[in-house]
A and B are shown apart, each in its own frame.
Chain A
Amino acid sequence: MSEQQTTGTAPPAPAPAPAATDPRLLVREKGFAGYLEEFARRIRGGELGSVPVIVGLLVIAVVFQFKNRHFLSADSLTNIGVYTSGMGIMAVGIVFVLLLGEIDLSVGSVAGVGAAVWAVLSVTHGVDDWLAVLIAVAAGGVIGLLHGFFFARIGVPAFVVTLAGFLGWSGLQIWLMGKEGSINTPSGSVVEDLTGYYFEDKAWAYGLALVAVLAYAGSLLLDTRRRRAAALPFRPLGEIALRTGAVAVIAFAVAYVLNEPSGARGLPLALVLFLAVLVLADFVVRRTGYGRRIFAVGGNAEAARRAGINVDRVRITVFGISGMLAAFGGLFIASLSGGATKNLGSGNTLMNVIAAAVIGGTSLFGGRGKIWSALLGMLVIQSIQQGLNLLGMASEIQYMITGAVLLAAVVIDSVSRRTQKTAGRT
């Protein structure tokens, strides 16, 4: 302590501050080589990002195509896209919850309740179809808010609250579905269209691809221009061109497959809705104060609280979002299976949804992840299922393989977290 100190030693007068650069700092070299070098450095530092999933998707495509040449057919790929949409929307909700560092085990049951609410209102009671859909989604949101309340305000661990919800809401679902246990989707209903409607005119798919590419390039260019004007580091034009090129190739390849080959049905409405949810959620998470607060609470809740953030409100609303998206996804599942049933959303729905978020690269440990991991992860899962279906593999084998993929994803997450720790990153 201070007793040993001599009195009155003033600190040395501060030297005039030298320019704030340090020769040891890693500055990205100009040009493409520097870009590659930074990429390699990130991988070594454990920031794997989307790399494992994209590699995984490529491997899946090659292996299954090799085994069964129908895997990459228009029909099969369209199926993958449509099946990805419903559960992918649920996975977006899970990404929100995982960013908080929590888990929601109730999404399967909430999807079931959502479908049941819609079916009972619209089919049994003749409520307007659109209104019934809105009420179903809102019911999911209210259920989620309730989970959030018990977690944030009462302090019950989230996995216990949502585990109770998992049981309780599937009870409600069975009760709602009554004796028969299933209500078929009437033809021409909104829910039937969710996964049954296709924009057949080829202009739709190509037009959407074009809009997406232009919007992407435009946002990158705008950002670069503004950063340049503010004298901040900006993306070089070469990088923008490269990224835009990659997005364009993917977008137009998808549009081509949806439109051109024999058996192609056009652009599925389900995919459009899923993309809309993805873009909106990504915007909220990365560009708004609310999204920033989610990351802050997921990274260090006490620091977030001291920064004046209303931690409880963030937690409650995030569970609300998860519930809402779960119910919305439930309507997609009902649409695909021809109606609401008393066991819709049970079985491996919950596992697949959580697995998708984690496989896509969102950390189970909170504060790290991207909305787009819902898309990537769900693509992996649905591709595997589609491939195994084509090969006539029994569902028990599918369970085992999906389980192994999930385990691999969590291992990658944990290992990359450890590497990042040693590389001084989170």
Chain B
Amino acid sequence: MSAPPVLALRGVSKRFGAVQALTDVTLEIRAGEVVALVGDNGAGKSTLVKTVSGVHPVDDGAIEWQGAPVRIGKPHDAQALGVATVYQDLALCDNLDVVANLYLGSELRTAGVLDEIAMEKRAKELLDTLSIRIPSVRIPVAALSGGQRQVVAIARALIGDPKVVILDEPTAALGVEQTAQVLDLVERLRERDLAVVLISHNMADVLAVADRVAVLRLGRNNGVFDVADTTHEEIVAAITGASDNAVTRRTARTGRRTGRPAKEARA
């Protein structure tokens, strides 16, 4: 019997006024696995991420953590479980410096007082592993370039000890080298047996690191593909809805065999 998924969404729906952003969405995320979440603009990817990280609680459906149902009503709940999220809009405080942003909400303290030195030291080490050039970790985030801000947001997710890392278009603003770094990082997270959800519009990136690709279309599931035996065209077809359900049916039949080592087939 395989272990239950770390995080599972079952029949999740979310509505914003007149917009039904998510309808009956199901998704399973397992430890040591990278799931790519793809879909057209407005498909509901970011909304899905926000329901899991407590920004917008779900209207309907259930979220399970390691097999047990949980309620994620506010961001703190998600963090307490071990979900770390890099949001598409980064969610940084422009007036705070890099160190303060990295540790926001989980500051290191000694005897109740902020331990700026420990935070600065670890922030530097962390940013060095991402080999990003930042003028100083003590300047306000507003003074950084778009890509630098994005790397700060990614580094933020690695502080603490998450079990699930969700990256909403983490490479959108990054150069070639930094993109490669982030993809490396995703692979390192998988090796550390974390579960990773990667949202990206770049199919090359997705195929390079993901184990499975879940497609959202107009707020609904539109198939889950094993990367090992899917083609780029099939995924694109699912995203655009061009060849519609044939693709989904085909993968449902053949998608159980997986070429990736040591990965459980979907339940």
Do A and B bind?
Answer: yes
Which of A9, A13, A296 is in CB contact (< 8 Å) with B96?
A: A296
Query: Given A1-B201, A287-B114, do A12 and B142 touch, yes or no (CB 8 Å)?
Result: no
When A232-B120, A305-B75, A308-B75 are in contact, do A5 and B232 touch as well, CB less than 8 Å? yes
Chain B, range 185-208, C-beta contacts under 8 Å to A: 201-205, 207-208
| Inter-chain contact B104/A2, CB cutoff 8 Å | no
**Residue among A11, A310, A426 making CB contact with B142, cutoff 8 Å:** A426
Q: What 1/0 mask marks residues of chain A from 253 to 269 whose CB sits below 8 Å from any chain B CB?
A: 00000000000000000
A residues 57-96 with Cβ under 8 Å of B?
none
Name the CB-closest residue of A to B93. A299
Task: Write the nearest CB–CB distance from A283 to chain B, whole angstroms.
Answer: 8
Look across to chain A and name the residue whose beta carbon is closest to the beta carbon of B179: A11
Contact with A12, one of B74, B106, B176, B202 (Cβ below 8 angstroms): B176
Stretch at the interface among B3-11, B23-31, B126-134, B249-257: B126-134
- Which single member of A11, A20, A303 contacts B132 (CB below 8 Å)? A20
Q: Contacts A11-B180, A367-B93, A425-B142 known; list 7 others, CB within 8 Å.
A: A12-B176, A20-B134, A232-B124, A295-B96, A300-B95, A303-B91, A306-B75
A226 on the B face (CB < 8 A): yes
A424 touches B100 (CB 8 A): no
In whole angstroms, what is the CA distance A295 to B181 when docked?
31
Do B142 and A292 have beta carbons less than 8 Å apart?
A: no
Stretch at the interface among A21-29, A151-159, A190-198, A240-248: A21-29
Could you tell me if A299 and B94 are in contact, using CB atoms closer than 8 angstroms?
yes
Task: Say yes or no: is A124 at the interface (Cβ < 8 Å to chain B).
Answer: no
Per a CB cutoff under 8 Å, which of A5, A14, A426 touches B184?
A: A14
Does B263 sit within 8 A of A, measured CB to CB? no
Indicate whether A3 reaches chain B with its CB closer than 8 angstroms: yes
Q: Are B208 and A11 within 8 A (Cβ)?
A: yes
Closest Cβ–Cβ distance, residue B165 to chain A (whole Å): 15
* Chain B residues whose CB sits within 8 angstroms of the CB of A21 once the complex forms: 133
Which of B201, B203, B236: most chain A CB closer than 10 A? B203
A contact residues, total (Cβ < 8 Å): 50
Total number of A-B contacts with CB less than 8 angstroms?
145
Does any Cβ of B come within 8 Å of A187's Cβ? no
In Å, the complex CA distance between A298 and B239 comes to 40
> Quick check: A308 and B95 within 8 Å, CB to CB?
no
Is A238 among interface residues, defined by CB-CB distance under 8 A?
no
Q: List 7 A-B contacts (CB under 8 A).
A: A5-B232, A20-B127, A232-B121, A289-B114, A292-B107, A295-B95, A426-B142
| CB-based contact B140/A2 at 8 Å | no
Q: In the bound complex, do residue B176 and residue A425 qualify as a contact, i.e. CB atoms below 8 Å apart?
A: no
Q: Mark A221-232, 1 if CB is under 8 A from B, else 0.
A: 000001100111
Asked whether B40 is an interface residue with its Cβ less than 8 Å from the other chain, the reply is yes
B117 and A304 within 8 A (CB): no
A20 touching B95, Cβ below 8 Å: no
Contact B131 A18 (CB under 8 A): yes
| Cα-based distance from A379 to B68 in the complex (angstroms) | 61
Contact B95 A8 (CB under 8 A): no
Q: Given A11-B205, A302-B91, verify A1-B40 contact (CB < 8 Å).
A: yes
| Nearest CB on A from B52, distance (A) | 12
The residue that A424 contacts in the complex, of B107, B142, B184, with Cβ under 8 A, is B142
The answer, yes or no, to whether A348 is at the interface (CB within 8 Å) is no
